[in-house]
Structure 1
Amino acid sequence: MNSQGVIGKRCGCLDTATGRRRGSSCPRLSEREHGSWYFHCSTRNLLGQAERIRRGGYPSQAAARRARDELLALSREEQAGRSWTVTRWLRYWLSTRTRIRPTTRMHYTRDIEQFLIPHIGQLILGELTSRQLTAAFAAIAATRNRAGQLRSACTLQHLHTTLRAALTGAVREGLIRDNPARRIELPARPRPQAQVWTEARVAEWQASGERPTIAVWTPTQLAAFLDYVRDDSLFPFWWLVALRGLRRGEAAGLRWTEVDLHTGQLSVVRQRTTAGYDVHEGPPKSQASRRTVALDQHTVRVLRQHRERQRQRRAARIDAGKVGHDSGYVFTGPDGLPIHPGYLTQRLRLLVGRAGLPPIRLHDLRHGAATLAHAAGADLKTVQDQLGHATIHLTADTYTSVLPDTQREAAEATARLVLDAAASGDEIRRQVSDLRAESPEQAKPSGVRATRGCQARWRLGRTASDARIRRVSRRLIGRDRRSL
């Protein structure tokens, strides 16, 4: 087969003896309206490798020839867009992503293999339209997850993010000219807000089992939990995450070399994350996540005691002939090796259940730390730096909630401001009334035409009275402002 390829005719008739299609051996191919024309030719793909392309369904030999000539006149990138399926491009694109995190690769792989390929994988990349994608996402939205629930808006948004990134890569490589995923309209993903476990919410959870997506303990509930886990070997971990808001991977990957107990601070320079069950250690989530976190004096004492117990435990194991690794991590297992991040999540769930407290996730402790810092008087910029957020909007919209006591204090302060202003207004009106009673205006004859001299003296007295009224009002208002 040469580069110009072959043009032929075939049909879909079935051989009664074999049950297979006759193809180009059908005796009726000489009939004008029977079968369709096709071509196949050899080209070079994006990697420079020889590749055979086969296309059919053309009504005439001339139409098949024109389609072949048009294809061969295109660049390699354009030919790939006309010949590659969406499945082939998605897998090729994922194989070229060398700078993404293992967890991101795992999510991309799940989205591609479980959702995108089954619904749009058979389509030609260069012929993909927004209408086809809209129909595919509608079909995905009608499926159910393992819990029997319809796919959430969050799931659809994640799939859209993956598909849009893949097609943007196709545009960048020159395979397609436009990204059809940009024109898809999907249900808005609701941004969950952290909700405090008030008495009413606890009662509702106990009665119905329903709980907020993001739940935050009150200071009393958090204190009860920390008191319950005081003897737990991971007590310093729970304390550090609950008060300083480290991510699970950041705390799991923390080393003693990054903790300065003399100056009371620690540095976040790495994290230990999981992709499936495999653990991957690497840089923090973002550039903003590389940060220095201040430590209070009590947290410093907790970490000092933890470090001493860790040394004693390792020495005891070595004396007993057991393995005691000096891994350098702050939080380790009995053998001295770092803890699997998944174990921390499971351990918290177990301890919360035993403590009889309303349930929260491990990441909810991070939300709670932001809420406590904000309630204690820290401004949002300080909370943003503490948590390592790239923008203050995420800190304000998602990671801080208002504790009931703080909200009540704000309500009382607002009402007190209005009531104090009303009391000051009553005092101003009373003193103004007294001054007016003493002013010459009260001595003005009623129904008698005053002389010009009397009129002048009355105006002079009224001007002096008004000046006194203004002085008293300014004095009272100034005192009222200073009291606030």
Structure 2
Amino acid sequence: MIAAEQGGPIGAGCTVAQWLRYWLATDQGIRPRTRQGYADHVRLHLVPALGRIVLSELSARDVRRMFTALAGRRNRYGRPLAAASLERIRATLRAALNEAVREGLIDSNPARTLRLPAAPRPRAQIWTDRWVAAWKAAGERPRVAVWTMPQLVAFLDGVREDPLFPLWWLAALRGLRRGELAGLRWVDLSLETSELAVVQQLVHVGGKLVPFPPKSAAGRRTVALDPQTVRLLRRHERDRRAEKARRGEAWHDTAQTRRGGSSVAPDYLTYRFHGLVLRSGLPPVRLHDLRHGAVTIALAAHVDLPVVQDQVGHAGIVLTADTYTSVLPELHHRAARATARLVLSAARETARRVRRGRCGWMTQV
């Protein structure tokens, strides 16, 4: 026996439900947000489908039957569960059963051999004129959308008086995640060297906002700042200090706080951003889509992909290339013209060395 639980001892004869609850309660290596996702999967999907089965009798067929049923289920919006959602549920089950293998409760993991449809990484769609027209006519919108440069400029111009404007600016230009924006402290800004250090993010845990380090080593990074951003942050810090002094409030190290000194929650950033977008009349994007847009802008400015990878804090360049590199339309046209110029230049050079009749098409282009 490993331990005892309200539902009975945790041993070879325990049920899948007993083991899953024990695993959630004892594994201290799980990050809070990850643990919350695991708990949701256990409560909503794994226990209802597999909970009554004795852990040692759980088979690959049981697991496959559960995922077949899940694939036919509809979410609250009436759509089937996405392949990415099924993959995350499978990851939860595999992690729990791998721990059961390590504890000697089962010989092998019955979820290990399960094959699910590949979950494609989302690719951002630029809000071109045609997409905007489709959205206005029928409400159609891409799953992940990015504003064009004029659209982004229009949004930033419209919200320049918003108290959270510096955060919208950093999200749009430097691609910080919402938890990183909420957790940003004045001490993390080195305006003398024009740099910003991402060393923590705010996360909701048990109804409280708790600072945690970034998920990966790559997430802990230094982000370069341009002179305009430095001026913006200096002015913002000066204004915030003056406001605090006027109200007689203590100075908080968090770079952005709400009235009264409380930190800005990541969920509040999402909520406020959504309202600002609605009022702007621009085609809709999510707060996280500004991160996609920041990569797009960097590529438009001819920034090398490895530099962009470091900027947004990805551990591997494949994720940056596959997920975040939606490219502005003008870059496609620029690439097409550059390719054509290269071919035509070579063709004209060849035409000088051979008879005109054999390479007439080259000289006529």
What is the TM-score with the length of structure 2 in the denominator?
Answer: 0.93
Residue 271 (structure 2) aligns with: 346
Q: Distance in 1 between matches of 2:196 and 2:279?
A: 31
Matches within 5 A, 1:362-401: 362-401=287-326
Residue 171 (structure 2) aligns with: 241
Matches within 5 A, 1:461-472: none
Whether 1:359 aligns to 2:315 is no
Matches within 5 A, 1:148-187: 148-187=78-117
What amino acid sits opposite 1:301 in the alignment? R
Does the CA contact (< 8 Å) of 1:329 and 1:337 recur in 2?
Answer: no
Does the CA contact (< 8 Å) of 1:325 and 1:335 recur in 2?
Answer: no
Q: Distance in 2 between matches of 1:157 and 1:48?
A: 31
Aligned partner of residue 183 in structure 1, secondary structure: coil
What amino acid sits opposite 2:295 in the alignment? A
Larger radius of gyration: 1
Whether 1:107 aligns to 2:37 is yes
Question: How far apart are 1:257 and its partner, in Å?
Answer: 0.7
Does the CA contact (< 8 Å) of 2:180 and 2:202 recur in 1?
Answer: yes
Equivalent of residue 89 in structure 1, options 2, 6, 19: 19
* Deviation digits for residues 158-204 of structure 1 (CA, Å, limit 9, x no counterpart): 11000000000000111011001011122221211111111111111
Residue 362 (structure 2) aligns with: none
Question: How far apart are 1:119 and its partner, in Å?
Answer: 0.5
Does the CA contact (< 8 Å) of 1:370 and 1:400 recur in 2?
Answer: yes
Q: Distance in 2 between matches of 1:133 and 1:339?
A: 41
Question: How far apart are 1:275 and its partner, in Å?
Answer: 5.0
- Structure 2 gaps of 5+ residues are 359-365
Alpha-carbon spacing, 1:200–1:117, altered in 2? closer, same or farther (3 Å)? same
Q: Distance in 2 between matches of 1:312 and 1:210?
A: 45
Residue 187 (structure 2) aligns with: 257
Q: Distance in 1 between matches of 2:8 and 2:204?
A: 41
Q: Distance in 2 between matches of 1:254 and 1:52?
A: 45
Q: Distance in 1 between matches of 2:73 and 2:317?
A: 36
* Deviation digits for residues 214-272 of structure 1 (CA, Å, limit 9, x no counterpart): 11111111111111111111111111111011111111101111101110001111100
Does the CA contact (< 8 Å) of 1:267 and 1:290 recur in 2?
Answer: yes
Residue 219 (structure 1) aligns with: 149
What is the TM-score with the length of structure 1 in the denominator?
Answer: 0.71
Whether 1:292 aligns to 2:200 is no
Residue 142 (structure 1) aligns with: 72
Whether 1:269 aligns to 2:199 is yes
Q: Distance in 1 between matches of 2:82 and 2:342?
A: 45
Does the CA contact (< 8 Å) of 1:314 and 1:335 recur in 2?
Answer: no
Aligned partner of residue 210 in structure 2, secondary structure: strand
Residue 2 (structure 2) aligns with: 46
Q: Distance in 2 between matches of 1:203 and 1:273?
A: 38
Q: Distance in 1 between matches of 2:275 and 2:4?
A: 56
What amino acid sits opposite 2:81 in the alignment? R
Question: How far apart are 1:211 and its partner, in Å?
Answer: 1.3
What amino acid sits opposite 1:263 in the alignment? T
Alpha-carbon spacing, 1:203–1:107, altered in 2? closer, same or farther (3 Å)? same
Does the CA contact (< 8 Å) of 1:192 and 1:398 recur in 2?
Answer: yes
Q: Distance in 2 between matches of 1:113 and 1:195?
A: 35
Q: Distance in 1 between matches of 2:302 and 2:288?
A: 22
* Deviation digits for residues 350-389 of structure 1 (CA, Å, limit 9, x no counterpart): 1111111111111111111111112211111101111111
Equivalent of residue 309 in structure 1, options 233, 239, 243: 239
Question: How far apart are 1:134 and its partner, in Å?
Answer: 0.5
Does the CA contact (< 8 Å) of 2:8 and 2:14 recur in 1?
Answer: no
Regions of 4+ moved over 3 Å: 275-278, 430-433
Aligned-residue Cα RMSD (Å) equals 2.1
* Deviation digits for residues 32-86 of structure 1 (CA, Å, limit 9, x no counterpart): xxxxxxxxxxxxx22389x999xxxxxxxxxxxxxxxxxxxxxxx9xx22x1110
Q: Distance in 1 between matches of 2:278 and 2:355?
A: 63
Alpha-carbon spacing, 1:260–1:127, altered in 2? closer, same or farther (3 Å)? same
Q: Distance in 2 between matches of 1:371 and 1:211?
A: 19
What amino acid sits opposite 1:46 in the alignment? I
| More off after superposition, 197-206 vs 141-150 | 141-150
Question: How far apart are 1:431 and its partner, in Å?
Answer: 9.2
Does the CA contact (< 8 Å) of 1:246 and 1:387 recur in 2?
Answer: yes
Question: How far apart are 1:306 and its partner, in Å?
Answer: 0.4
Residue 5 (structure 1) aligns with: none
Residue 363 (structure 2) aligns with: none
**Across the two proteins, how many residue pairs are aligned to each other?**
357
Aligned partner of residue 288 in structure 2, secondary structure: helix
* Deviation digits for residues 138-174 of structure 1 (CA, Å, limit 9, x no counterpart): 1222222222222222221111000000000000111
Name the % identity: 52
Aligned partner of residue 143 in structure 2, secondary structure: coil
Residue 423 (structure 1) aligns with: 348
If asked which structure has higher relative contact order (CA below 8 Å, sep 6+), I would say 2
